[in-house]
Amino acid sequence: MVYAALAISGFTLAFTVLSFWWLHARRGSLEAAPPRTYAFIDRVRLRLPLAFFNTGAAALIVTDLRLVVEDAPSGQPLRWETTRSKLRPESDDGFAYATPFSIQGRATREVIAEFGHNRGWSPDPASRHRVQLQAKVHPVARMEGHRSV
């Protein structure tokens, strides 16, 4: 009987610790829904309305974003340049420089991000390109969260 009580107590303690970790301390991953719309502006400026979801319990900080065009001749990713409040390019579209943002555990965050570069490549109208959104999540120092959009 003593061994059964010890086993049940040990199982209960392990279950409690693991449940606490799962509900309050687990670091999740970042997911992004593929955008259905976009805005393309002169030279290479692409605005995407992005919705991020943090699957874990702990908050995540997104410090940088980039967009990789898989068949671009330059091979260089489009850098995250600004954040906007409107998708449509207008004079009062809420210009803000690209700054880190946080996403609380099991929460979402909407961002209209503008990507671009000055390397001279411009896609032809009506052409199709596969892109991959990458995010640098703090404290990890490499780009992670590869997600095709």
Domain containing 71: what range? 30-148
Q: Which pLDDT belongs to residue 138?
A: 86
Examine residue 103 and state whether it is found in any structural domain, yes or no.
yes
- The number of C-alpha atoms within 13 Å of 101 and in the hemisphere containing its C-beta is 23
Residue 77 lies in a domain: yes
Q: What is the pLDDT of residues 76-132, one digit of tens each?
A: 889 999 999 998 888 888 889 999 999 999 999 999 999 988 776 677 778 888 889
Backbone angles phi, psi at 96, to 5 degrees: -150, 140
State the Cα angle at 43 between 69 and 51, rounded to 5°.
Answer: 50
- The region of weakest confidence among 9-18, 57-66, 99-108, 111-120 is 111-120
Q: Which of 114, 120, 118, 149 is nearest to 134 (CA)?
A: 149
> In the prediction, which pLDDT does 62 show?
95
- Structural domains of the chain, count: 1
What pLDDT is recorded for position 140? Answer: 58
Q: Check residue 120 and give its pLDDT.
A: 64
Identify whether 17 is part of a domain: no
With vertex at residue 132, the alpha carbon angle to CA 122 and CA 25, rounded to the nearest 5 degrees, is 145
